Copies of this chain bind each other. A is one copy, B any other.
Amino acid sequence: MTGEDSFISALRAMAGHPAARGLADDCAVLELGGEALVLTHDMMLAGVHYLPTQDPADVAWKLVATNLSDLAAKGAEPVGVLLGYQLAGSDDRFITGLREVLDHYAVPLLGGDTVGGSGPQALGLTAIGRATHRPVPSRSGARPGDRVWLTGAVGGAMIGLEALRAGRGDSLRYRRPRPRLADGIALAPHVTAMMDVSDGLLLDALRLSRASGVTLALDAAAVPLDCPAARRDEALRWGDDYELLFTLPAAVPCPVAGSPIGWVQDGAAGRLRLDGVDLTAEPGLGFHHQQKP
């Protein structure tokens, strides 16, 4: 076990409240006053989650967008965010990007904390949402016979980061991900399981199969790409695309633009197959945060 794995195991052991969902979901879901409150918190560190040379306006956008993507996976409507901000030299550009992303998604800034410090910049964001449908979708409801679906395409963020590193302009998919909030709300009443794809399609699909106790069998050729077809293998393992991965009973038509990319099978629990090959034990199945960007 890595240090992160053992730390998370220890946290999990103390997260017995049902709202915590065993720390195995995209968000906490807290019943309060007749609403289901959906809560998520992500941190980003300079040099780990973003390039220290990146435009802080893009960093602000991504910080908010990745948390809203977690809400999207619950079919939740955002109600506000709290920001944790370590001052750096270029705070004006951060403000610009923060204003852009909050305006774009009509999400209010509710509060937070600003700190000074001399190390690499650390950022945190808490997003608060309200569920639009009960039960609130989780990763754990996929059933044998369900079809596996994906919104959009993968590989765009991979190409985008390469463009950014090369100083080319076509890096938007990496710099400014678009959380699938409207799709999540439309899907919530129909899906058996749902999550967002942040760490790579294959790794996240394996997580969904583990949470649901099923085998997921995916068809590589069915996955839409935002990159050259020759890079399909990489694109399936790359993160940062923030699409929604979900399962629907076979008879239920998909209510949003999406692609069927496989099936839930009645095999061993927590296994992933791609074109018939079991990838469950493959190292480097997806991107871990430590390795990004």
Q: Is the CB of A80 within 8 A of B28?
A: yes
9-residue interface stretch from A105-113, A199-207, A223-231, A261-269: A105-113
Pick the contact of A32: B37, B40, B112 (CB < 8 A): B37
Residue of B with least CB distance to A40: B111
Q: Is the CB of B48 within 8 A of A115?
A: yes
Q: Is the CB of B23 within 8 A of A111?
A: yes
CA distance A33 to B105 in the complex (A): 22
Task: List B contacts of A124 (CB < 8 A).
Answer: 41, 43, 84, 113, 122, 124
9-residue interface stretch from A7-15, A185-193, A241-249: A7-15
CA distance A150 to B40 in the complex (A): 35
**Could you tell me which residues of chain A, from 25 to 45, have a CB within 8 Å of some CB in chain B?**
27-28, 30, 32-35, 37, 39-45
CA distance A47 to B116 in the complex (A): 11
9-residue interface stretch from A91-99, A152-160, A279-287: A91-99
**A: number of interface residues (CB 8 Å):** 67
Task: List B contacts of A8 (CB < 8 A).
Answer: 114
CA distance A289 to B66 in the complex (A): 28
A-B contact pairs, 20 of them (CB 8 A): A3-B91, A7-B95, A11-B112, A14-B95, A17-B80, A17-B109, A17-B110, A19-B108, A20-B80, A21-B111, A27-B111, A28-B80, A33-B33, A33-B35, A42-B113, A43-B113, A48-B115, A113-B124, A115-B289, A124-B124
CA distance A115 to B16 in the complex (A): 22
Q: Is the CB of B11 within 8 A of A290?
A: no
CA distance A113 to B116 in the complex (A): 21
Task: List B contacts of A40 (CB < 8 A).
Answer: 82, 111
Task: List B contacts of A274 (CB < 8 A).
Answer: none
Q: Is the CB of B17 within 8 A of A86?
A: no
CA distance A4 to B112 in the complex (A): 13
Q: Is the CB of B49 within 8 A of A115?
A: yes
CA distance A128 to B40 in the complex (A): 12
CA distance A21 to B7 in the complex (A): 36
CA distance A10 to B23 in the complex (A): 34
Task: List B contacts of A290 (CB < 8 A).
Answer: 115-116
Q: A14-B109, A32-B33, A45-B115 are in contact. Are A82 and B19 (CB under 8 A)?
A: no
